């Protein structure tokens, strides 16, 4: 019994359930709960930039081949585009079949926080040039993942050219990296508190009663995410000869943390460490995971396509198949351009609506009440998809350690028999 209560997975589940209870019966606790959740996420966020930097630098310095770095990056981006496109069209298909917006009475809510952002369309070229930082210190301070990634690749390349003279620096970086991961392990022990705060705030601030009128769109998004994980991603796992179930069990703590905090970023550092232990090389993990957090948003893609069709159904707007396909094409671009922006789901939806002149921008506000409840589904799907992408790229590059993977399976089996 003592072992169960000391298990982090059990603690997080208990904290999530307690958070739902507290949020439902003591909604006035929501502001305090939000502070608790934000504090935990901030503790994780402060480690993200240095962990990404040191992981990438060490991986590339040891790899020593920039052609290989380019090949890994190219494969990753191609994989991301294929998977997010699939996610968009699966979301489109399921939403057209289930018709979640049929019979929903539109209730306008305030959209003041969405309009100023949405009306300022995201420029794709500006997004690309933004990847190159003009001040790397500022990039670290603001947590600009893609800029840190770009700088770390160049830094790793520079270190790889030092040969033996750079060995002492490399050794020092390895020690610093170990310190950072030790810090992360300590912070993750506080995950139940962060999960409790996140869930208590969500339920207390928005209320469980808001779910009933919008249950169908929530069901559509959750169902589509499950189909994507257990059909599409399962087929990918089968193709590359590793077990989806073993992988999901291995990252169960990260899944629960994301469920509680509604933020996939809260699991980024621990996912990088776990993917290495799962068998992926440090260099592949360092390149794929951070890039995936901006470009491989499977769950967000599902949400965007389902929400767009939902809105057209609620407001009785008929879209032809070609209009729907055009909308998906725009979403494929704008969803990448809005990566890392708070409230990006609303921004991307609004930008697409404005671009296509489908409906007034204010119509997006109907989703405000339940967006937080759907963010868990898309964040968890994003998390799972990025981990699988890392394994796929590692295997395709012969950068996957089967022995480590077998150790994970053995450990997992041993846990089941205890």
Which CATH number does the domain housing residue 127 bear? Answer: 1.10.3860.10
- Phi/psi for 222 (5° steps) reads -65, -45
- Phi/psi for 65 (5° steps) reads -135, 105
**327 pLDDT exceeds 90?**
no
Mean predicted confidence (pLDDT) in 214-242: 94
**28 pLDDT exceeds 70?**
yes
Q: Is residue 334 part of a domain?
A: yes
What is the CA angle 107-113-115, rounded to 5? 80
Of residues 71, 72, 30, 56, the one with CA closest to residue 394? 72
Residue 117 pLDDT grade (very low, low, confident, very high; cuts 50, 70, 90) = very low
Q: Is residue 3 part of a domain?
A: no
Q: Is residue 43 part of a domain?
A: yes
What is the CA angle 133-138-143, rounded to 5? 90
Q: Please give the DSSP secondary-structure letter assigned to residue 280.
A: B
3-state secondary structure of 152: helix
Structure confidence by residue, pLDDT tens digits, 183-221: 988 988 898 999 999 889 888 887 777 677 778 898 999
Of residues 205, 181, 200, the one with CA closest to residue 37? 200
Structure confidence by residue, pLDDT tens digits, 243-282: 999 999 999 999 999 888 877 778 888 999 999 999 999 8
Please enumerate in sequence order all residues whose Cβ is within 8 A of that of 117, keeping only pairs 6 or more positions apart, or say none.
Answer: 341, 343, 346, 347, 350
For residues 200 and 23, is the Cβ–Cβ distance under 8 A? yes
Neighbours of 178 (CB within 10 A): 11
For residues 203 and 28, is the Cβ–Cβ distance under 8 A? no
**236 pLDDT exceeds 50?**
yes
Q: Is residue 174 part of a domain?
A: yes
Of residues 265, 272, 267, 255, the one with CA closest to residue 342? 265
Quick one: how many helices (H) and strands (E) in the chain? 21, 0
Mean predicted confidence (pLDDT) in 17-27: 90
Instruction: Please tell me the predicted confidence (pLDDT) of residue 344.
Output: 60
Residue 76 pLDDT grade (very low, low, confident, very high; cuts 50, 70, 90) = very high
**For 118-122, 159-163, 203-207, which range has the lowest pLDDT when averaged over its residues?**
118-122
Domain total in the chain: 1
Q: Please give the DSSP secondary-structure letter assigned to residue 120.
A: S
C-alpha distances out from residue 158 to 87, 154, 173, Å: 38, 6, 14
Torsion angle of C-alpha atoms 333, 335, 336, 339, degrees rounded to 10: 160
Region of residue 199 (phi > 0: left; psi between -120 and 50: alpha; otherwise: beta): alpha
**For 54-68, 102-116, 232-246, 404-418, which range has the lowest pLDDT when averaged over its residues?**
102-116
Instruction: Please tell me the predicted confidence (pLDDT) of residue 92.
Output: 92
Region of residue 317 (phi > 0: left; psi between -120 and 50: alpha; otherwise: beta): beta
Question: Which pTM value belongs to this model?
Answer: 0.83
Of residues 231, 194, 255, the one with CA closest to residue 381? 255
Residues spanned by the domain of 366: 8-417
Q: Any idea which residue has 């621990």 for tokens?
A: 270
Q: Is residue 86 part of a domain?
A: yes
Q: Is residue 137 part of a domain?
A: yes
Residue 345 pLDDT grade (very low, low, confident, very high; cuts 50, 70, 90) = low
Structure confidence by residue, pLDDT tens digits, 162-188: 877 878 888 899 999 899 989 988 988
**365 pLDDT exceeds 90?**
no
For residues 109 and 325, is the Cβ–Cβ distance under 8 A? no
**119 pLDDT exceeds 80?**
no
| Cα separation, 217 vs 354, whole angstroms | 22
C-alpha distances out from residue 145 to 53, 122, 149, 324, 352, Å: 9, 18, 6, 32, 25
Helical segments of 315-401, H only: 321-337, 344-356, 368-396
Q: Is residue 157 part of a domain?
A: yes
Mean pLDDT of the chain: 83
Instruction: Please tell me the predicted confidence (pLDDT) of residue 169.
Output: 87
C-alpha distances out from residue 156 to 71, 76, 291, Å: 16, 19, 16
Q: Is residue 2 part of a domain?
A: no
């Amino acid at each position: 019994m003592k072992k169960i209560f000391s298990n982090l997975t059990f603690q997080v589940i208990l904290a999530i359930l307690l958070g739902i209870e507290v949020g439902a019966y003591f909604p006035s606790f929501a502001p305090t709960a939000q502070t608790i959740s934000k504090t935990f996420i901030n503790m994780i966020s402060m480690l993200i930039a240095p962990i990404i930097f040191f992981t990438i630098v060490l991986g590339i310095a040891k790899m020593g081949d920039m052609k290989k770095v380019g090949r890994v990056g190219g494969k990753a981006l191609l994989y991301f585009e294929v998977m997010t496109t699939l996610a968009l069209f699966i979301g489109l298909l399921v939403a057209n079949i289930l018709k979640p917006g049929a019979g929903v009475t539109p209730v306008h809510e305030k959209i003041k926080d969405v309009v100023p952002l949405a009306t300022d369309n995201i420029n794709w070229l500006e997004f690309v040039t933004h990847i190159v930082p003009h001040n790397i210190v500022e990039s670290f301070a603001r947590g600009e993942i893609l800029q840190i990634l770009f700088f770390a690749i160049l830094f790793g390349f520079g270190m790889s050219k030092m040969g033996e003279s750079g060995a002492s620096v490399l050794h020092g970086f390895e020690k610093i990296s170990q310190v950072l991961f030790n810090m992360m392990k300590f912070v993750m022990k506080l995950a139940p508190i962060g999960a409790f705060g996140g869930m208590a705030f969500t339920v207390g601030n928005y209320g469980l009663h808001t779910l009933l009128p919008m249950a169908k769109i929530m069901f559509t998004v959750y169902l589509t995410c499950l189909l994507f994980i257990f059909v599409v991603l399962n087929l990918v796992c089968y193709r590359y000869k590793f077990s989806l179930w073993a992988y999901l069990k291995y990252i169960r703590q990260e899944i629960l943390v994301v469920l509680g905090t509604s933020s996939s970023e809260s699991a980024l550092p621990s996912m990088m460490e776990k993917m290495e232990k799962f068998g992926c090389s440090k260099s592949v993990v360092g390149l794929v995971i951070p890039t995936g957090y901006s470009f491989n948003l499977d769950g967000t893609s599902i949400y965007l396509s389902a929400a767009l069709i939902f809105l057209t159904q609620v407001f009785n707007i008929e879209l032809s198949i070609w209009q729907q396909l055009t909308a998906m094409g725009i979403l494929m671009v704008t969803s990448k351009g809005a990566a890392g922006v708070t409230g990006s789901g609303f921004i991307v939806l609004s930008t697409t609506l404005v671009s296509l002149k489908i409906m007034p921008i204010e119509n997006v506000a109907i989703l405000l009440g339940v967006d937080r409840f759907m963010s868990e589904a898309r964040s968890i799907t994003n998390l799972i998809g990025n981990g699988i992408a890392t394994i796929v790229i590692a295997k395709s590059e012969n950068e996957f350690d089967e022995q480590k993977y077998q150790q994970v399976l053995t450990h997992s089996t041993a846990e089941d028999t205890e």
